[in-house]
Chains A and B, each alone.
Chain A
Amino acid sequence: MCAGVVCKQVMSVNRNMFRYVSNALAGIRSRMPLGYSLWVIVAVKLFIMFAVLRLFFFPDFLGSRFSSDEERAEYVGGELVVRGQ
């Protein structure tokens, strides 16, 4: 029963917070539509770049394959020699 009350309170706080944030955003949007649009564009762009592209499509080639700089130097040195022969 106690857990249920806490759970309801948490949900209520979450709802209030969500309402507060959404009201604040709506206020910003109506008062400064251009600024709001630009912030949204910047946020979406950064999200796509870092959370999608960087994470899934652009791994650090050497960083993800080798654990030390010595190994990376060894690999790149080998690649440069092999490609030049």
Chain B
Amino acid sequence: MEFLTASLVGWSRAQFAMTAMYHWVFVPLTLGLGVIMAIMETLYVRTGKEEWKTAAKFWMRLFGINFAFGVATGLVLEFQFGTNWSNYSWFVGDIFGAPLAIEAILAFFMEATFISLMFFGWKKLKPGAHLASTWLTVLGATISALWILVANAWMQLPVGMEFNPDTVRNEMDDFWSILLSPVAINKFSHTVLSGWVLGGLFVTGISGWFMLRRRHADFALRSMRVGTVFGLVASLLVLSTGHMSAYNVAHYQPMKLAAMEAHYEGYEGVELVGVGLLNPDKQSWDDGVQPVVGRIAFPKMLSFLGFSDFNAFVPGIRDIIEGGYVQPDGSVALSFEEKHERGKLAIQALADYRRAMANGDTEAAAVYKEQLRQNYAYFGYGYIDAPEGLIPPVGLTFYSFRGMVILGGWFLLLFAVLGFMAWRRDITRCRWMLWAALITIPFGYLAGEFGWVVAEVGRQPWAIQDILPVQAAISSISAESVKLTFFIFLVLFTVLFVAELRIMVRQIKKGPEVQDDACGTDNVKTEK
């Protein structure tokens, strides 16, 4: 216990956040670009036009580069579970283990098998069989994301399990409620679709660059057209799933919603802050100071987003701490003090149960087990000593949410305008738009990272919502060792990222006329 310091919790969280965010640099492009290259290959198979094959191969080569750099970067997160987060790993073992095992067995092997056929099978497979390999590669990557996101969603909404005090583990008793929980379904769709948006941005941005350089005009226009339509559809779907995300957060993680909006005092018909600055004078959740200044807000929109009702009551941070408001399920919310008390009761019941079992007193053990069961929903609150401990970092969550939404709006507009120009006008004359498409690529990555910050920082202090806070989830190890591995990962991932950028840029500059047989591509010649 002497090791269990704020520094250890901070470094463990920082390391996990950093590696997850670097992992998320590689993953979304795999998800998005994969679908686009598969669409282009489908067009080739259906029309027989070699131009589509050339385009599909070009984007497939970039997909391959991204895949090679990204593969296994997620494994380091599992290393951390075993070393830095051992209490958590044990506590959730069966539930977290099942989706990850399915991911490894089904999705990873599916992906690994068909990606080989996709890259090396151009000359060996019939067009239809090759196309099937391409789609199955994309499907494998997407299913892989599904299981990871199901595991993550369970941490946001722990369902389908029962805590076993003998094994000190949450044991799965309903697989389907975990897989089909509203948070899991929405998290999967919103996250994968955001990857599709990035894929659209990447293709339109690179196509714009070719147009700016007046190279490969036909290829660039074809890619631009596919990229804009795909990106526009994905953006509209992201908008829809974003609404559902807000709905889920409002129902299952009200503190996260309150932090996203810096919403301290609840009332009916709450506005949505479009743009605003956090007031630096706001020092505490109960000081009554106005939290946001200089804001532009949309009246009643937060109520609508959260509850599909323009006049719904949205609890603020103060309400969630003080309790007493009616929750969506009709029950009255408990205050922090009450939840803390029940959490303490649950922890004490666990201790008493284990002692009773050790003494062979099964009758007393049964009583304590029932006490634990009745209070288990608040187990994690027993580790939080003050109401401030319940509040996630409001500034980071607030600004990240704004960043994600504003960028999402920009992407939607960009796809719509670029698409119109690419399909109806001569887009090459609008050079500023081509520049805008190119410059927007990194913002696609940034929006995805903002999304993760909102989802993960916004749910602090919970490793598992309401059940296990981060301070109870970490291992009793030295903060120095976590700090050391933090910097090792930082260097490793930065090197990987820079190397990927260099190789990617070099391959893009070569254009679709490929000299390299690297990814099973042959010597395609296209017009300059």
Q: Which residues of A contact B (CB under 8 A)?
A: 31-39, 41-42, 45-46, 48-49, 53-54, 57-63, 69, 72-73, 76-77, 79-85
Contact = CB atoms under 8 A, between A and B. Distances in A.
A85 B347 CA distance: 8
15 contacts: A32-B518, A34-B519, A39-B68, A41-B69, A45-B492, A48-B492, A57-B83, A60-B86, A73-B167, A76-B168, A82-B1, A83-B383, A83-B471, A84-B383, A84-B472
A62 B90 contact: yes
B350 A42 contact: no
B516 A34 contact: yes
B187 interface: no
B161 interface: no
Contacts of B351: 81, 85
> 9 smallest A-B Cβ distances: which pairs?
A35-B518, A34-B518, A84-B347, A61-B86, A58-B79, A38-B68, A77-B168, A81-B351, A32-B518
Interface string B1-38: 10010000000000000000000000000000000000
Contacts of B61: 34
Interface in B46-105: 61, 64-65, 68-69, 71-72, 75-76, 79-80, 82-84, 86-87, 89-91
B292 interface: no
A80 B68 contact: no
A37 B79 contact: no
B350 A80 contact: yes
Interface centre among B86, B347, B492, B503 (most CB of A within 10 A): B86
Given A41-B68, A42-B71, A53-B79, 17 more contacts: A32-B518, A34-B61, A34-B503, A36-B518, A37-B503, A45-B492, A45-B496, A49-B72, A57-B488, A60-B82, A61-B82, A62-B82, A62-B90, A76-B168, A81-B351, A84-B344, A85-B351
B475 A57 contact: no
Contacts of A45: 72, 492, 496
B168 A73 contact: yes
A46 B83 CA distance: 19
B485 A57 contact: yes
Contacts of B311: none
Contacts of A36: 518
A66 B474 CA distance: 17
Contact of A59 (B83, B91, B517): B83
Contacts of A31: 517
B318 interface: no
B421 interface: no
B476 A79 contact: yes
B83 A61 contact: yes
Nearest to B468: A80
Contacts of A76: 86-87, 90-91, 168
B484 interface: yes
Contact of A33 (B343, B344, B481, B516): B516
Contact of A35 (B76, B89, B165, B517): B517
Contacts of B350: 77, 80-81
B488 A61 contact: no
Interface in B452-493: 471-472, 475-477, 481, 484-485, 488, 492
Nearest to B64: A38
B479 to A, nearest CB: 14
B527 interface: no
Nearest to B71: A42
A80 B72 contact: no
A61 B169 contact: no
A76 B305 CA distance: 40
A7 B279 CA distance: 80
A37 B69 CA distance: 11
Contacts of B72: 42, 45-46, 49
Given A77-B354, A82-B1, A83-B4, A58 B80 contact: yes
